Amino acid sequence: MILLKRRLLIIFVILIGFTTLTVGQDTVIIDDFESGDKGWVQVNQGWVDFEIVSNPKISQVNSSSKVMKITRKSGTQDWAGIILRNQVNLTLGALPNQYRYAHVKFMKQSTGKVTFKFEKNGDSGSFSSTKDYPNSNDWQEIIFDLAGATGNTYDDYFIMPDQTPNLTQDITIYIDDIILKTDPNATVGENEIELPGQYQLIWADEFNGSSYDKSIWKPQISGGGFGNNEKQYYTGAEKNIFIRDGNLVLKAYKESYQNHAYTSGKLWTQSLKYFKYGRVEARFKLPQGRGTWPAIWMMPQSSVYGGWPKSGEIDIMEFVGYDPSKIHGTVHRQAGYAGNGNGNNISIQGKINDFHTIRIDWEPGYIKWYLNDVLLHTYNNAFSGYEQWPFDQNFYVILNFAVGGDWGGAQGIDDTIWPQEFLIDYVRAYQKVEDNTAVQPLKGDIGFKINLSSNDEIRVSSSNISPYNMYLYSLSGQAYLVKHNLQGDSIFNISSIPKGMYMVTLTDNKHNYSQKIIK
């Protein structure tokens, strides 16, 4: 954990002008059957038998040791199969943050059709994709195209492994490696705004010394439930917050203190380190047992939009001990209040004793969560106002280990497990600095001219024949005006927007031109 610490003066220039950007591919493993049964059930009682078994035919297509064996019974309907309910909420479709392809490996006794169906709260509004299984008795990876789901979200995964009509005898099918992937060639719409440049470290604590870095962190010393009926008092004492073997340890005890039944530790960077847009990454090891509720999260330095949840909350990582198979990432905002959370979870089944790495990438157009480099969740800026996106302000980082509470204690507290420890190996914060890969305005005659008149009108002159798009953004990335398919000269009145510096960007199929204006 040796890392050079640097303080950087960051100057941001917003990258506008591409109406589309290409992105990489994100992958979610629904099940590889190597860690036991995740909770699959048959859709109709008695229609199938299923169990996890050793791979009966190791091959280049599938060298896994464990697979799922499914036996469809004779006389059953072709929708016989198994379903995994109430799992990760995933959005399917053809856009960059949507899962476009489902990969499933099949081996069965005969050719025919196989179906992958996605549901949310039952069959209503479900989506399914059916493909051919062309060769019998060999492992084959079938790829289902999910573009037709058009942005709908699902959390139930239903495999129909054999759709032979009028089945007259039992048939055995093996399945493995159920994986969803985004389309690496998908394009990003204008709402997926990203800052230019590359991430560079702005601060970090590797917890390699005898204490945490007091220029970054300070302890919170208080109790009272924190609005969640939590049971701990944060003491700031060394027995609750200390360094051991290169890790920060937040340790919770069952003990009476300040009219609380437990003590624990909490650090935050409030007023010391705060920033807007960037990346936060942390490596951690979880406590265990009912009543544990560790978290890595962010709150606004100034609540400019009002009290919680109006000014937002970014929960980078949360874990509740009574549900040890999942790690959660969530945002809270005014939209949808009181159900103000928008989040997701990812399975760590069988890996609670491991260290895990969590990160968020926070851009003007989205926040993405990754656990161990696998996408956990995406929350997009709809550019509809602070109620949906209060995340255009400075936020600070919090590390804490709560005990009990409305969520952490929803199934009670096991009083036999204490003390428990929440270990953090490091916390690193990054922001982007512009580099030479950022798109620059083209020189020469590009056919566009931009002028701001004294009566707050942006006047655009275009000598190009092609239609063009116009974008007006603040330098922090907030969209104030977006117009598509314009032709010729145009006038836009901006008297209603606040005074300040803005970026006007014009794009057509050949050109990309940006110019700053000051109102």
Q: What is the pLDDT of residue 418?
A: 98
Sign of CA dihedral 440, 444, 445, 449: positive
More confident residue, 449 or 387: 387
- Per-residue pLDDT tens digits for 404-456: 999 999 999 999 999 999 999 999 999 987 543 333 333 333 566 777 776 78
The token duo for 339 is 């159900």
Q: What is the pLDDT of residue 437?
A: 33
Q: What is the pLDDT of residue 35?
A: 85
pLDDT above 70: percentage of residues in the chain: 84
Decide: residue 445, CB within 10 A, 0-12 exposed, 13-18 middle, 19+ buried. exposed
Question: Looking at domain 27-182, does it have CATH number 2.60.120.260?
Answer: yes
Residues found in the chain: 519
Domains 1-21+440-519 and 27-182 share a fold: no
Q: What is the pLDDT of residue 109?
A: 87
List, in sequence order, every residue forming a beta bridge with 399; answer none if it has no partner. Answer: 267, 296
CATH no. of 1-21+440-519: 2.60.40.3080
Catalytic residue IDs: 313, 318
What's the Rg (C-alpha) of the chain? Answer: 26
* Domain definitions of the chain by residue range: 1-21+440-519, 27-182, 198-433
d(CA 264, CA 282): 20
Residue 285: band (very low, low, confident or very high) from pLDDT cuts 50, 70, 90: very high
Mean pLDDT of 487-501: 81
d(CA 465, CA 125): 44
CB 469 within 8 A of CB 487: no
Question: Looking at domain 198-433, does it have CATH number 1.10.357.10?
Answer: no
Q: What is the pLDDT of residue 125?
A: 62
Name which of 234, 226, 274 is nearest 250 in CA terms: 234
